[in-house]
């Protein structure tokens, strides 16, 4: 049996599903009043015209597809959201799919839930950019209808709204003068902020300042993979208030899990660039940023821990596997300053395989790690970050119960400091994990 890194290293923040998303606090028109109620428009020719900041109420039934028409301006970002209005209906009864087409009926954006998953507040939220000025069409249907299946929803009411968020980062911007500010508050803990960026010239880098409500939390980054009209291939970097690079990633899809853990600072700058070298009104991306409250992470390393004698121990706790035994402990930390090492003594309660699942590069960390496990002075397992892949350290055979020590350090000549962060789990089990 081999478990994946995600099994052994639960992603920061997975303990609670974020309850909402925001595309900046001013996006939603809270004074719009009751939504307009319309009859079905079942094909593009009879599409109902919808304006920005207008809410329209409709319903889906059987294999219904509702169509709307909206006028877009080249290079402008948009957001279309659908809310299930039937509070007494099981939320699974309506599973909407929102699709946006240009006038030639070419799909430019589509979303089932939200680009980062289920955010709870909306049934579907679709983000995109208008490649050219003109008319566009929005289709709303149940996912099962799109799959050619019976949707079994009966008749379910919903409200649709189209929003035109504020502009992309202003030009010309730089690391020292960001083109856009995003400010998180205590009330926006665990809310995703959606920020549009546009590559207005080849090689353009957009800079967004992130003002946090606190330190000690974590910052998540994810780029919408469903903006089909754009070739934008997002590369992201994050800098601290001293302009030091603290996170770097050549991609930032939701499944990549790019995360700056246990943030020491209260402000950072996100830099985004299109690796494809594109530019123009159609070359945009939506990036989502989540600032979690403190306390979401694993136990943080406690200094001094630069040798086995001074380091606080990790305590392994029994898990409940389907067969055999499994004990695990979790931790996180930083290799800072230069020359720092982190040691973690632990006791194996039974004879078994020791596995260390290590996460650094997978989050966007700059740490090129060396990870070693010792029994006394004897090295029993080790691994290195190689080619951007984190080490997965496991003993070659079962080792006796007893005392062991885990050592984490940076490889010679590689980065240390705020960007050299990591998360890990230590596991003792009846099989190699």
Q: Can you tell me the distance from the alpha carbon of 167 to that of 173, in angstroms, rounded to the nearest whole number?
A: 14
Is pLDDT above 70 for 124?
yes
Q: Can you tell me the distance from the alpha carbon of 314 to that of 308, in angstroms, rounded to the nearest whole number?
A: 12
Is pLDDT above 90 for 161?
yes
**Nearest partner of 345 among 386, 293, 400, 306, judged by Cα:** 306
Half-sphere exposure of 65 (CA within 13 A, CB side): 19
Is pLDDT above 70 for 120?
no
- Return the minimum-mean-pLDDT range out of 191-200, 291-300, 411-420, 423-432: 291-300
Torsion of CA 179, 186, 55, 52, to 10 degrees: -10
Q: Can you tell me the distance from the alpha carbon of 112 to that of 123, in angstroms, rounded to the nearest whole number?
A: 8
Q: List phi, psi (to 5°) of 411.
A: -65, 150
Q: Can you tell me the distance from the alpha carbon of 285 to that of 101, in angstroms, rounded to the nearest whole number?
A: 17
Q: Can you tell me the distance from the alpha carbon of 313 to that of 125, in angstroms, rounded to the nearest whole number?
A: 45
- Structure tokens given for 41: 């428009």
pLDDT at position 85: 78
Q: Which fold has domain 298-429?
A: Jelly Rolls (2.60.120)
Q: Can you tell me the distance from the alpha carbon of 11 to that of 357, in angstroms, rounded to the nearest whole number?
A: 13
pLDDT at position 146: 84
Over residues 14-26, mean pLDDT = 34
> pLDDT tier at 189 (50, 70, 90 boundaries)?
low
Is pLDDT above 50 for 255?
yes
Query: Are domains 28-163 and 180-292 of this chain identical in fold?
Result: yes
Q: How far apart are the first and last CA of the chain?
A: 7
- Return the minimum-mean-pLDDT range out of 30-39, 134-143, 192-201, 340-349: 30-39
pLDDT at position 411: 98
Per-residue b or e along 249-285, where b marks 16 or more CB atoms closer than 10 Å to that residue's CB: beebebebbbbbbbbebbebbbbbbbeeebbbbbbbb
> Which pTM was predicted?
0.87
CATH architecture of residue range(s) 180-292: Sandwich (2.60)
User: To which residue do tokens 């919808």 refer?
Assistant: 50
- Other beta carbons within 10 angstroms of residue 303's beta carbon come to 14
Is pLDDT above 70 for 421?
yes
Reported as a single tens digit per residue, the pLDDT across 310-364 is 999 999 999 999 999 999 999 999 999 999 999 999 999 999 999 999 999 999 9
Q: What distances in angstroms separate CA 119 from CA 17, 113, 115, 315, 324, one per listed residue?
A: 7, 8, 9, 34, 37
Domain 28-163, CATH class in plain words: mainly beta
pLDDT at position 149: 74
What residue segments make up the domains of the chain, in order of their start? 28-163, 180-292, 298-429
Is pLDDT above 70 for 65?
yes
> pLDDT tier at 34 (50, 70, 90 boundaries)?
low
Is pLDDT above 50 for 30?
no
pLDDT at position 293: 75
């Amino acid at each position: 049996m081999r478990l994946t890194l995600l099994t052994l290293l639960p992603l920061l923040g997975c303990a609670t599903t974020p309850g909402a998303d925001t595309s900046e606090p001013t996006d939603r028109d809270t004074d719009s009043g009751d939504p307009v109620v319309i009859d079905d428009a079942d094909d593009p020719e009879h599409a109902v015209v919808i304006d920005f900041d207008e809410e329209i109420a409709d319903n889906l039934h059987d294999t219904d597809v509702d169509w709307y028409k909206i006028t877009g301006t080249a290079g402008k970002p948009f957001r279309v959201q659908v809310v299930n209005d039937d509070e007494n209906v099981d939320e699974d009864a309506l599973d909407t799919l929102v699709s946006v087409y240009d006038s030639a009926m070419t799909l430019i954006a589509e979303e089932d839930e939200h680009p980062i998953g289920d955010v709870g507040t909306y049934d579907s939220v679709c983000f995109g950019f208008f490649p050219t000025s003109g008319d566009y069409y929005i289709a709303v249907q149940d996912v099962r209808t799109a799959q050619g299946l019976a949707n079994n929803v009966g008749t379910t009411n919903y409200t649709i709204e189209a929003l035109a968020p504020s502009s992309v980062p202003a030009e010309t911007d730089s690391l020292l003068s960001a083109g856009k500010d995003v400010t998180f508050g205590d009330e926006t803990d665990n809310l995703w902020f959606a920020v549009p960026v546009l590559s207005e010239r080849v090689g353009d880098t957009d800079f967004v300042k992130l003002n946090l409500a606190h330190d000690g939390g974590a910052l998540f980054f994810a780029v919408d993979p469903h903006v089909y009209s754009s070739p934008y291939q997002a590369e992201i970097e994050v800098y601290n208030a001293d302009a030091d690079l603290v996170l770097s990633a050549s991609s930032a899809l939701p499944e990549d899990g790019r995360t700056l853990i246990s943030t020491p600072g209260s402000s950072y700058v996100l830099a985004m660039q299109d690796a494809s070298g594109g530019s123009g009104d159609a070359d945009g991306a939506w990036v989502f940023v989540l600032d979690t409250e403190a306390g979401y992470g694993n136990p943080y390393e406690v200094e001094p821990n630069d040798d086995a004698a001074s380091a606080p121990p990790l305590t392994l706790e029994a898990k409940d596997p389907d067969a055999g035994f499994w004990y695990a402990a979790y931790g996180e930390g930083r290799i800072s300053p230069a020359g720092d090492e982190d040691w973690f003594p632990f006791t194996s309660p039974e004879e078994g395989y020791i596995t260390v699942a290590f996460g650094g590069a997978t989050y966007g960390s700059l740490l090129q790690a060396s990870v070693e496990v010792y029994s006394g002075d004897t090295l029993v397992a080790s691994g290195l970050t190689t080619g951007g892949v984190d080490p997965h350290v496991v003993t070659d055979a079962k080792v006796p119960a007893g005392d062991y020590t885990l050592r984490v350090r940076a490889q010679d000549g590689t980065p240390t400091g705020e960007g050299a962060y990591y998360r890990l789990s230590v596991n003792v089990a009846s099989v190699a994990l």
